Amino acid sequence: MHSLHRSLGIYAFVFLFLAVIGGWLVYDFRQERDRLLEDIARLAIHKSQVISRSFGDTFLAADYVLRDVLGRIDVERDFSEASRNPAIRGQMDALVKEKVETVAGLSDLVLLNQDCTFVAVARHPLQGAKSNQAFCSEPDIAPGQSLRIQYMPPDKSANGRSVVLMSRTVASSEGRLLGAAMVVIDLEFAQNWISSFSTDRNDVLAIVDTSSTLLARNPPLPEALGKRAPPPSGTLSFADVGAGSTFMAASPIDGQERIFGLSRLERFPFVAIVGYDKARVLQGWQHRSWQFSIGFVVLLALSLLALRAHLTVVRQREDMRKLATTDVLTGIANRRHFMDVGQHEFARAKRHDRPLAVLMLDIDRFKSINDRWGHPTGDRVIQKLAELLGVVARALDTSGRLGGEEFAVLLPETDASGACVIAERLRGIVEESQVAVIDGDFTLNFTVSIGIAVLHDDATFEILLQRGDKALYQAKEGGRNRVVAL
């Protein structure tokens, strides 16, 4: 049993160690996952900033063109006189046609008078048409020059295409519109520009305005362009995005979960969006996690198999030990084991000058029980006596069957008077006990004779037992069912 307990302790430590390692692996993998997502989020922000600066260059150049055009004309005179003065109109047409070629991506450059009527157009014959821009219907406009940017869907655009209109209005000190210069950027240019960037599978690049209108997307999604694509709930609105923001969510367009980085164009109401597919980002991490998890489970399974095999060996060893030390019929110590324990206790008592007593027992008239009721009943009587020995004996005592109907009890730390008390109690319990007769409907009683020997000057444990045998013989000769001490 000591070996079994020691083995169980070792395996408990091993499994505790494995549990700690497993917990540490789980924690470490979660930390690695969080670090990976944070790194990708920073990468998404950085790439969105690069895209926003690159895309913003077109608008910066376009704004420079608008400022230059407005600086070359007399706004109050030329806008009001253009419709009546062919010379002024011709100069304005030449100016816009020259300037529209200076910036790639501009599909047109237009001048509007105080009524929002086209008075000069670089590429499309739209003179005399009226613009649908929002500022055209505003009663008051900020004095001086103001920058206005507006998405215009095909049904409202003068050229029937999806465009972004970038205008610089000029107003009097009273807020009255004097005129405006406007560039037209076709969304096809934005789409072609953003499609020039390479993306991995399920990643996305996009340009939206601050009102959540999707202007360009890579990979292309024509049916979504020009439509509102608000950010997922719980995240910043596009109007609140600054130089760099990030979040992780499912896309409202295709439902794919991504790690998004967002960056707003400086001075312009546009937001560049970079989204990395979360599943692809975590694919390598998940692969490593599965590898370690499977390895850990295999290690745990091998440990369980090793424990099971070891416990089987320990159990078999314990069974063999019991067979070698235990009487098969009664379950108490056999003669060999009893003698080994007796030798040990005898030596200890002699060494430390401690009391030691031994009881020698014999079932009275046992041969008659066997002859009359059969050996199965005799075996029951022997088993009953062994059971009663377990009731009377103390934890430090050792009971053993020496052979046949002869038993012995070793009583450490017990003098003559104490041994007599235990022996007499045992004799009385046996006398009152009953054993069922095999193949019968009644019970029988039996008794025992007990001889007591107490350690004095005995040279060996065998001599002590011989004195116990003599006391037992006297108890038999004295009429049986009695206790005799020498």
pLDDT beyond 60 at 1: no
- With respect to residue 305, please indicate whether it lies within any of the assigned structural domains: no
For the segment 32-38, the average pLDDT, to the nearest whole number, is: 91
- With respect to residue 179, please indicate whether it lies within any of the assigned structural domains: yes
CB-based contacts of 388, cutoff 8 Å, min separation 6? 426, 429, 430, 433
Number of domains the chain contains:
2
What's residue 4's pLDDT? 56
- Other Cβ atoms closer than 10 A to 220: 13
What is the Cα gyration radius of the chain? 53
Laid out side by side, the sheet with 118-121 consists of 118-121, 108-112, 177-186, 163-171, 144-152
Please tell me the distance from the alpha carbon of residue 108 to that of residue 99, in angstroms, as a whole number.
10
DSSP character at residue 433: -
- With respect to residue 260, please indicate whether it lies within any of the assigned structural domains: no
Last residue of a domain, one of 130, 165, 188: 188
- With respect to residue 240, please indicate whether it lies within any of the assigned structural domains: no
pLDDT band with cut points at 50, 70 and 90 for residue 187: confident
For the stretch 414-441, pLDDT in tens is 999 999 999 999 999 999 998 877 666 7
Scanning 72-132, the segments in alpha helix (DSSP H) are 75-81, 86-100
Going by C-alpha positions, the residue among 374, 383, 427 that lies closest to residue 405 is 383
For the stretch 372-396, pLDDT in tens is 888 899 999 999 999 999 999 999 9
pLDDT band with cut points at 50, 70 and 90 for residue 339: very high
pTM > 0.85: yes or no? no
338: burial class by Cβ within 10 Å (0-12, 13-18, 19+)?
buried
pLDDT beyond 80 at 233: no
pLDDT beyond 90 at 457: no
The CATH number of the domain where 358 resides is what? 3.30.70.270
Q: Assess whether the previous peptide bond of 219 is cis (omega < 30° from 0).
A: yes
For the stretch 299-309, pLDDT in tens is 888 878 887 88
Query: Which of 82-86, 278-282, 342-346 shows the lowest per-residue confidence on average (mean pLDDT)?
Result: 82-86
User: How high does pLDDT run on average in the chain?
Assistant: 87
C-alpha count within 13 angstroms, C-beta hemisphere, residue 399: 23
Please tell me the distance from the alpha carbon of residue 141 to that of residue 338, in angstroms, as a whole number.
115
Structure-token pair, residue 329 = 């019929």
For the stretch 119-172, pLDDT in tens is 888 887 777 788 888 888 888 888 999 988 888 787 777 777 788 888 999 998
Last residue of a domain, one of 165, 188, 211: 188
Q: b/e string for 87-123 if b means 16 or more Cβ within 10 A?
A: ebbeebbebbeebbeebebbbbbbbbbbebbbbbbbb
Report the helix count and the strand count for the chain, using DSSP H and E.
11, 17
- With respect to residue 174, please indicate whether it lies within any of the assigned structural domains: yes
Last residue of a domain, one of 188, 213, 245: 188
What's residue 6's pLDDT? 67
pLDDT beyond 60 at 79: yes
- With respect to residue 358, please indicate whether it lies within any of the assigned structural domains: yes
Query: Which of 110-114, 232-236, 406-410 shows the lowest per-residue confidence on average (mean pLDDT)?
Result: 232-236
For the segment 386-412, the average pLDDT, to the nearest whole number, is: 94
pLDDT band with cut points at 50, 70 and 90 for residue 3: low
Instruction: Please report the DSSP string for 143-173 in residue order.
Output: SEEEEEEEEE-TTTSTTSS-EEEEEEEEE-T
The CATH number of the domain where 170 resides is what? 3.30.450.20
Q: Are 398 and 326 in contact (CB under 8 A)?
A: no
- With respect to residue 278, please indicate whether it lies within any of the assigned structural domains: no
Going by C-alpha positions, the residue among 402, 422, 425 that lies closest to residue 411 is 422
Q: Give the range of the structural domain holding residue 385, as residue numbers without chain letter.
A: 335-485
What's residue 405's pLDDT? 92
What's residue 340's pLDDT? 94
